[in-house]
């Protein structure tokens, strides 16, 4: 069962039919961003105390003197970073979705532009990352330590955001489930779902399709745990972000094998948009790991988080 709007979930839980047209996907994305921001701020604080990150200072306004309080500066930077990534990520997700379905867009553009569904998560990651890099550059912070701090938080944000895909039934489900391959010990709902009342209004016949968002949330949370566990790595700055690129690309490439997405052709390569982007992520991640897998000199005595 799907709950595209908050009123749907409320009615299912309490029986109350109250009009609350708030999209559950959007609420989950905001929640995921808030959780990711908590971890991001915590890791930046650790890096700063360990001497691996210069103190954050807000940019001066008008002729006012430059503030020097670290705590205020760090909070201001994190808030600006999170807002820029969230807004640009949503725009990027919509733009990449349009490119992925270009014939439908050209035939009837307005419904796709203003639809509450239809987002490319990979597009959101790419555009959101570039927006975050721009904020870092404007703030005068060293880029690679900030990217390392963002790596685990991007993974947990991605995983929690996928919960919104599952709840709302936004079309990010998988192909028709092969029930003959289902292990006996696995609950049926973890193998096949029909996503009744999904936001698209699509009727999925039994036995249903693979609940791909559940698999992605599970994998992303496990990968977050891995990235968080090795965040105190001894290698050069930027190494952890390279590992994130490799893991994020491999995760999406794997799940794409049971996803329904249009196949595109680019310079002789036939693949889905997500497969192409995942391939680029994997190559960049491997290259970054190879270049940055050397021990960096200690910046100072580490302070436990």
Handedness of CA 47, 52, 53, 55 (dihedral sign): positive
Residue 299 lies in a domain: no
The rounded distance, in Å, linking the Cα atoms of 180 and 52 is 53
The per-residue pLDDT for 49 is 86
The rounded distance, in Å, linking the Cα atoms of 218 and 211 is 11
The rounded distance, in Å, linking the Cα atoms of 38 and 47 is 14
The rounded distance, in Å, linking the Cα atoms of 50 and 305 is 10
The per-residue pLDDT for 76 is 85
- Radius of gyration from C-alpha coordinates of the chain: 21
Residues 38-71, buried b or exposed e (16+ Cβ, 10 A)?
Answer: ebbbebbbbbbbbebbeebbbeeeeeeeeeeeee
What H or E segment, with its residue span, contains residue 290?
helix 273-292
Q: Which residues contact 6 (CB under 8 A, 6 or more apart)?
A: 20, 21, 22, 23, 24, 27
Q: How far is CA 188 from CA 178, 219, 223, 257, in A?
A: 11, 19, 25, 20
Neighbours of 231 (CB within 10 A): 18
Closest CA to 205 of 192, 216, 218, 215: 192
Residue 301 lies in a domain: no
Residue 242 lies in a domain: no
Per-residue pLDDT of the chain in tens (305 residues, 90 and over written 9) = 899 999 999 898 998 888 888 889 889 989 999 999 999 999 999 988 888 876 555 555 554 444 334 455 788 889 899 889 888 887 887 787 677 666 776 666 666 665 655 567 777 788 888 999 999 988 888 899 999 999 999 999 999 999 999 999 888 899 999 999 999 999 999 999 999 999 888 899 999 999 999 999 999 999 999 999 999 999 999 999 999 999 999 999 999 999 987 787 777 778 888 898 899 999 999 999 999 988 766 554 444 44
- Beta pairing partners, 264: 271
Check residue 234 and report its DSSP letter.
S
The rounded distance, in Å, linking the Cα atoms of 265 and 139 is 39
| Domain of 218, in residue numbers | 6-59+67-233
Nearest 5°: the CA angle 100, 103, 107 is 135
Q: How far is CA 298 from CA 22, 71, 160, 228, 302, in A?
A: 48, 24, 34, 20, 9
Check residue 203 and report its DSSP letter.
-
Residue 258 lies in a domain: no
Per the structure, the count of domains in the chain is: 1
The per-residue pLDDT for 200 is 82
Q: How far is CA 302 from CA 33, 65, 150, 198, 298, in A?
A: 28, 32, 19, 49, 9
The rounded distance, in Å, linking the Cα atoms of 214 and 174 is 10
Residue 162 lies in a domain: yes
Neighbours of 161 (CB within 10 A): 26
The per-residue pLDDT for 265 is 76
Residue 156 lies in a domain: yes
Residue 275 lies in a domain: no
3-class state of residue 297 by DSSP? coil
Residue 300 lies in a domain: no
């Amino acid at each position: 069962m799907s709950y595209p709007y908050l009123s749907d979930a409320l009615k299912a839980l309490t029986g109350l039919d109250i009009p609350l047209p708030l999209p559950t996907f959007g609420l989950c994305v905001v929640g995921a961003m808030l959780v990711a921001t908590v971890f991001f701020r915590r890791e930046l604080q650790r890096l700063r105390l360990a001497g691996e990150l210069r103190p954050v200072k807000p940019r001066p306004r008008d002729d006012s003197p430059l503030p020097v309080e670290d705590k205020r500066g760090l909070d201001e930077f994190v808030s600006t970073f999170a807002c820029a990534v969230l807004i640009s990520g949503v725009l990027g997700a919509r733009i990449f979705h349009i490119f992925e379905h270009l014939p439908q867009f050209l035939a009837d553009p307005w419904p796709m532009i203003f639809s509450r569904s239809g987002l490319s998560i990979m597009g959101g990651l790419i555009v959101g990352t570039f927006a975050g890099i721009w904020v870092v550059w404007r703030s005068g912070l060293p880029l690679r330590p900030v990217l390392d701090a963002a790596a685990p938080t991007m993974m947990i944000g991605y995983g929690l955001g996928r919960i919104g895909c599952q709840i709302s039934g936004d079309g990010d489900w998988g192909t028709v489930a092969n029930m003959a391959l289902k292990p006996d010990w696995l609950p049926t709902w973890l193998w096949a779902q029909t996503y009744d009342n999904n936001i698209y209004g699509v009727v999925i016949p039994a036995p249903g399709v693979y609940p791909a968002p559940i698999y992605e949330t599970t994998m992303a949370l496990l990968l977050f745990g891995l990235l968080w566990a090795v965040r105190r790595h001894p290698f050069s700055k930027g190494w952890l972000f390279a590992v994130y690129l490799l893991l994020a690309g491999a995760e999406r490439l794997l799940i794409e094998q049971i996803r329904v997405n249009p196949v595109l052709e680019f310079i002789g390569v036939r693949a889905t948009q997500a497969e192409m982007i995942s391939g680029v992520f994997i190559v960049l991640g491997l290259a970054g790991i190879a270049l940055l897998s050397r021990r960096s000199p200690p910046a100072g005595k580490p302070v436990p988080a």
